[in-house]
Amino acid sequence: MKQFLVTVPRNLIGCFKGRRLIWHIIAIVLTFILVMSGFDWRYFLATRTPALRSWVWPAVGIGGLLPLALPLFLLIVGFIIGNARTILAGWAVGQAALLGSLVSSAYKAVTGRVHPAHSVGADISHVFHFGWLRGGVFWGWPSSHATIAFAMAVTVFTLCPKQRWLGLVAILYACYVGIGVSMTIHWFSDFVAGAIIGSVIGAVVGRSFDSQEKNI
């Protein structure tokens, strides 16, 4: 618990320090390219089919519930079996989810991107309402689902160097969530930006807790 609270401010700032800031810029530039090239809109037209929707729609629910359920599960199991590493992993994954939510919500608060409609209409993929809370913090750019999923996955990947299969499963989960929301409630560039920013967060959190784990 102490490790979680003490490192939240430091790791939040760390996500924007040095070379990590470059990755945020890359996410912005890629979004600009995907929007202005028309790729976002073409991807939207190609993927909003009932068949695809039935396969990827569960990603929305999974991506919303697992960030709450997984940290709690790891903490409970860790306390029951008395395993300090499992407890630490629970706090780490929980912090990754928290920071992913905070960072993505902050971006959404100032970008105000319009989310895709459920049916095909006019091309609105280029509509942003820059300012403060002009589009809320629940919809828009980047995808919180993707940001949080990749933050958690990269944290697990970093903390489990000897169990690479576990890290790969986590990455596959993040990809499913990200691609799933890009075909349902988000634009493709929302997913791409979320994956990049989430990976930065996961790397920061993972390394922070990894150093603590070595002392256990």
Phi then psi for residue 129, to 5 deg, are -120, 85
Determine the pLDDT at residue 110: 95
Would you state the pLDDT for residue 138? 83
Position 171 in a domain = yes
Choose among 193, 98, 213: nearest CA to 152.
98
The residue written with tokens 């306390």 in the block is 79
User: Side chain identity at 207, as an amino acid letter?
Assistant: R
pLDDT digits (tens, 9 = 90+) for 65-84: 999 999 999 999 999 999 99
Would you say residue 205 has pLDDT above 70?
Answer: yes
Distance CA 100, CA 185 (A): 18
Q: Is residue 157 included in any domain, yes or no?
A: yes
Residue 74 and residue 19: Cα distance in Å, rounded?
32
What average pLDDT does the segment 86-101 reach?
Answer: 96
Domain contains 68: yes
Q: How far apart are the first and last CA of the chain?
A: 14
Pick the residue with more confidence: 10 or 3?
Answer: 10
Question: Which residue range is the domain that position 187 belongs to?
Answer: 45-113+131-213
Within-domain flag for 17: no
- Across residues 135-143, what is the average pLDDT? 87
Q: Over 63-97, what HEC string results? A: HHHHHHHHHHHHHHHHHHHCCHHHHHHHHHHHHHH
Residue position matching structure tokens 């967060």: 201
Whether 114 contacts 127, CB under 8 Å = yes
pTM to 2 decimals? 0.94
**pLDDT given for residue 89 in this prediction:** 93
CB 174 within 8 A of CB 198: yes
**Distance between CA 194 and CA 204 in Å, rounded?**
15
- pLDDT (tens digit per residue) in 158-202: 998 888 899 999 999 999 999 999 999 999 999 999 999 999 999
List the single range of 8-22, 70-84, 107-121, 144-158 with lowest mean pLDDT.
107-121
Q: Return the sign of the alpha-carbon dihedral for residues 106, 116, 182, 125.
A: negative
Q: How many domains does the chain have?
A: 1
Structural domain contains residue 65 = yes
- Please determine, for residue 215, whether its predicted confidence score (pLDDT) is greater than 70: no
Answer yes or no: is pLDDT of 213 > 80: no
Residue 151 counted as domain residue: yes
In a domain, 38, yes or no: no
178 lies in some domain? yes
